[in-house]
Amino acid sequence: MWQAEVRIDLDAIRDNVATLRAGTTAEIMAVVKADGYGHGMLPAARAALAGGATWLGVATLDEALTLRRAGLTVPVLAWLNAPGMPLHEGAEAGVDLNAGSLGQLGELVTAARRAQRPVRAHLKLDTGLARGGATPADWPALLEAAAKAQADGELEVVGIWSHFVYADAPGHETIDHQLAVFAEGLATAERYGIEPRYRHIANSAATLTRPDAHYDLVRPGVAIYGLCPLPGPPPVRLRPAMTARARITQTKRVPAGQGVSYGHAYHTSREATLALVPLGYGDGVPRHASNVGPVLLGDAVRTIAGRVCMDQFVLDCGDDPVAAGDVATLFGPGDHGEPTATDWADAIGTINYEIVTRFGGSRIPRVYDGSVPGSGGSDDPGSRGADGSGQV
């Protein structure tokens, strides 16, 4: 018997990838960092591969090694590694690694020597985000060092890549500008004799809106989980994969003017039935959802009454017939009138990415639905806690 659960529809992830796949000639790197945006890294990865992804993308070496240990042999790029990380383990496991500075390139060379095999490297050009990567000014020096390491057999430059500032605002001037800087960076690389098999810059938003940015490989993350990074309806059919819900643990009648939850930040306007939902910020519900988070209970979407606590929050149900054991749905695909993660993001002033990712690693059992490998098995290393029966 469950009291709260996060259900993941792995077929939705597979189908979302297949939909993206149908819209491009590029290969697809499914981004499964941060525990697959909260969906479970390994099941999400397997579902994405079943949908036609041929690469996996993660932030950290640790995530990449977890994919390898699970037996996934497809190319994996890990792009965020601090100095001193055991990158030779990545090299030994055939993990592709990022170099966006001379220091990072040096670490790759050291790792290659230690592993006694060339490291598969992706050189990152900072085309304007000013996050990782070499600025155009520093780019030639990085290329020169990479060309030397490649000639020495320590490095194989597999990719040149970059990342967008504002692809979720189609038409934004930074997009064309970054593409121009990227094209120039590729031309410069060619002059250094570096012409990698994979050039990649497109995240979900650019995958959905800018075919001219697809190059050889696209790196969608949020879209494979069925969420759209763009304002308005998605340009292709995407199905949200995560549903978060819980059973009401208690209901009670209270008089008008009753203050509710910590700080009494909400007061009933009339006599009402309150319903207690056993989910809180310890589970991934943002505390910022206090008094604004939308929840489907019974026939109505209600707004959280008062503060979200660590383990629970309250709904004011008026005179509606709600009872302990009823199911409250925080968000899902929207099939039954429930809010979506995007509705939650809009309500609390964040992005849908954060809503689903917060539920990763929480104590709520995650249950997998679907026909792809990794579905519904409590023996799957990515599933936890639940019986995996797929039924309630």
Catalytic residues: 33, 262
Least Å distance between CB 159 and ligand PLP? Answer: 12
**Residue closer to ligand PLP, measured from CB, 34 or 115:** 34
Least Å distance between CB 326 and ligand PLP? Answer: 34
Tell me if 204 sits within 8 A of 223, measured CB to CB: yes
**Residue closer to ligand PLP, measured from CB, 122 or 366:** 122
Least Å distance between CB 30 and ligand PLP? Answer: 9
Q: What distance, in Å, lies between the first and last C-alpha atoms of the chain?
A: 8
Beta partners for 29? 55
**Residue closer to ligand PLP, measured from CB, 39 or 163:** 163
Give which of 81, 141, 142 is closest to 111, Cα–Cα. Answer: 81
Strands 198-202 and 155-161: parallel
**Residue closer to ligand PLP, measured from CB, 91 or 238:** 238
Which residues contact ligand PLP by CB under 6 A?
31, 33, 79, 163, 203-204, 219-223, 229
**Residue closer to ligand PLP, measured from CB, 203 or 273:** 203
**Residue closer to ligand PLP, measured from CB, 2 or 166:** 166
Which residue has 């069925």 as its token pair? Answer: 226
Least Å distance between CB 57 and ligand PLP? Answer: 6
**Residue closer to ligand PLP, measured from CB, 76 or 296:** 76
What is the amino acid identity at position 171? G
Which residue number is nearest to ligand PLP in terms of Cβ?
A: 221
Beta partners for 243? 7
Instruction: Write the burial class of residue 230 (CB in 10 Å: 0-12 exposed, 13-18 middle, 19+ buried).
Output: middle
Least Å distance between CB 128 and ligand PLP? Answer: 14
Give which of 197, 185, 118 is closest to 156, Cα–Cα. Answer: 118
Least Å distance between CB 280 and ligand PLP? Answer: 26
Least Å distance between CB 203 and ligand PLP? Answer: 4
